[in-house]
Amino acid sequence: MAKYTPRLVNKIVSLIEADTYTISEICETLRISRNSFYEWKRERPEFAAMIDDAMERRDEMLLLKARRSLMEKLDGYTVREVKVTYEPDKYDTEQMKIKSKVIKTKECPPDMATIKLVLERNDRKKASAQRESIEETQPAVIIVQDEETKTNLEILRLNGGEPGGALIYKKEGDIIVKRKEGEKCTTL
């Protein structure tokens, strides 16, 4: 079993932050067993916290790179290619001198597939927001099959969603709801 040291922990953290190495690759590189790694992570909360923080920093860095790459694809970019040809120096055959230097620049236009992806994502986001706002503004529709349930729901509506407190009187087919004694009656 490898010995847990601050130096080894710093190496593990730096490897996690540097690239998307797997735990197996890190353990192999540093010559520690996977069991030791997971044992340290389980038994040492400070080690587990450092590993989690390193993974979070790595993921943030990858996300930043992905956003930059996406922006390049949306804006278009220029690629510069330099080709240098060398030849031996006339006076010192062990030294090389530049024979020619060719610089090519290539303009890469915005990538249409990336633009389409971003626009579709934005459209889906807007459609989702519209569905949510429609759901919030439309009243609930309740279909009832009997008069008693209809009456109880109407009382609930008149009471502002608060149950109870209403007296019901039936008078010539109309329903009269009286909220509390002494208040004005409401005809339904």
1-14 pLDDT tens trace:
689 999 999 999 99
pLDDT at 27 over 80: yes
Q: How confident is the model at residue 172 (pLDDT cuts 50, 70, 90)?
A: very low
Average model confidence (pLDDT) across the chain? 82
SS3 of 82, please? strand
DSSP string, 89-140: -SS-TTSEEEEEEEEEEEEEPPPHHHHHHHHHHHHHHHHHHHHHHHHHHSPP
Question: What whole-number percentage of the chain has pLDDT above 90?
Answer: 35
Q: Is the pLDDT of residue 153 over 50?
A: yes
